[in-house]
């Protein structure tokens, strides 16, 4: 099997790169921005793209969502959840007490504020965590860089202090997106959609959720997003348990599509981690019996 060409947000040594390393049969292609990366998938320059969707501390990654919602018709095929651990990196031989200033990307610096404060370290912003590691490697100064273990390896740096982040449970959810295919159902799936209301019919959010509640579909995420048509005009990014190949999900989506201005399908794909509740399976068993009951009744309907 030929390797798929999969884009990621570079430079080398980024957390995206680390996430991509968990996949097999892949030829990595670095991009400088999420916009460029999604565009390259859309115009078939590459086969698929791996992009960050959500971070446990920062929330949704706007560039990814906006690209999927407004700019392209792509489909999420897979998710990869990567724990985010940050390390203080320096050239071999440099000790913690020698370091006076630390370089990294603005978000990474924000996540190690406690460590910097405790050790009286100044901070300098760079354009990425990888760039910080490169700067440190190429300098003769006793500088530190905050970044991933992979970045340290790539640029020959040592780990002076590991896991220096303020929140030890940080993680980023990456997704692999493609052009057409929808992932096969596994019985343990999630679906992501975006719903646009009719602008002249506000207040339909509650009714919208009712369509899920009435079908026992468990919504795991709901987030209003600006539609870029002015402040206060939102669409709704939703994630819920189940796959579009499940009849109850298909029925719910069709129902939403019939009542809203538009529903955009962003993919059904396997859940990583603990996943869907067992209650779902109970409901399904009872529903199978119920379907047989209704089929028997319908079998008695006289011809028109």
Size of the site for a copy of itself (CB under 8 A): 85
**Smallest separation (angstroms) from a copy of itself to the CB of 184:** 4
The answer to whether 112 and 84 have CB atoms below 8 angstroms apart is no
Per CB under 8 A, the list member of 48, 55, 104, 131 interacting with a copy of itself is 55
How far, in Å, are 93, 145, 185, 267, 274 from residue 270 at the CA level?
Answer: 45, 36, 7, 10, 11
Question: Counting contacts by CB under 8 A, is residue 167 touching a copy of itself?
Answer: yes
Per CB under 8 A, the list member of 43, 73, 163, 291 interacting with a copy of itself is 291
The contacts of residue 108 (CB under 8 Å, 6+ apart) are: 86, 129, 132, 146, 147
**Smallest separation (angstroms) from a copy of itself to the CB of 160:** 25
Phi, psi of 16 (to 5 degrees): -60, -40
For the segment 234-263, give every residue that binds a copy of itself (CB under 8 A).
234, 236, 243-245, 250-251, 253-259
Per CB under 8 A, the list member of 14, 47, 50, 54 interacting with a copy of itself is 54
For the segment 100-139, give every residue that binds a copy of itself (CB under 8 A).
110, 113, 125, 127
For the segment 200-229, give every residue that binds a copy of itself (CB under 8 A).
202-203, 205-207, 209-216, 218-226, 228-229
Residue 187 CA neighbour count, 13 Å, CB half: 3
Q: How far is residue 191's CA from residue 114's CA, in Å, rounded to a whole number? A: 37
Question: Counting contacts by CB under 8 A, is residue 92 touching a copy of itself?
Answer: no
Instruction: Name which of 158 and 259 has its Cβ closer to a copy of itself.
Output: 259
Q: What is the DSSP string of 36-64?
A: HHHHHHHTTSSSEEEEEEEETTTEE-HHH
Q: How far is residue 69's CA from residue 72's CA, in Å, rounded to a whole number? A: 7
Span near a copy of itself by CB under 8 A; candidates 21-29, 95-103, 155-163, 283-291 = 283-291
Residues β-bridged to residue 51: 175
Question: Counting contacts by CB under 8 A, is residue 140 touching a copy of itself?
Answer: no
**Smallest separation (angstroms) from a copy of itself to the CB of 98:** 26
Instruction: Name which of 95 and 228 has its Cβ closer to a copy of itself.
Output: 228
């Amino acid at each position: 099997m030929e390797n798929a060409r999969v884009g990621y947000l570079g430079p080398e040594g980024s957390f995206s790169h680390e996430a991509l390393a968990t996949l097999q049969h892949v030829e990595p292609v670095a991009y400088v921005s999420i916009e460029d990366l999604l565009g390259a998938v859309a115009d078939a320059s590459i086969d698929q793209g791996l992009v960050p969707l959500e971070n446990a501390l920062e929330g949704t990654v706007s560039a990814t969502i906006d690209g999927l919602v407004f700019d392209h018709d792509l489909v999420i095929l897979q998710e990869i959840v990567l724990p985010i651990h940050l390390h203080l990196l320096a050239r071999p031989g440099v000790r913690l007490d020698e370091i006076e200033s630390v370089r990294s990307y603005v978000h990474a610096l924000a996540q190690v504020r406690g460590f910097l404060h405790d050790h009286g370290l100044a901070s300098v912003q760079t354009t990425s965590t990888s760039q910080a590691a490169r700067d440190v490697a190429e300098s003769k100064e006793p500088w530190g860089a905050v970044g991933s273990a992979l970045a340290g390896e790539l640029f020959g740096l040592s780990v002076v202090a590991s896991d220096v982040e303020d929140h030890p449970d940080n993680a980023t959810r990456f997704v692999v997106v493609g052009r057409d295919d929808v992932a096969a159902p596994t019985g343990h799936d999630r679906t992501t959609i975006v719903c646009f209301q009719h602008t002249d019919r506000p207040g339909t959010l509650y009714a919208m959720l009712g369509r899920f509640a009435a079908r026992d579909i468990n919504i795991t995420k709901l987030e209003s997003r600006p539609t870029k048509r002015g402040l206060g005009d939102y669409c709704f990014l939703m994630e819920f348990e189940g796959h579009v190949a499940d009849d109850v999900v298909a029925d719910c989506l069709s129902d939403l599509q019939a009542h809203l201005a538009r529903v955009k399908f962003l993919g059904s794909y396997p859940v990583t981690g603990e996943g869907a509740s067992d209650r779902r399976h109970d409901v399904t068993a009872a529903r199978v019996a119920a379907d047989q009951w209704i089929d028997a009744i319908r079998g008695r309907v006289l011809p028109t």
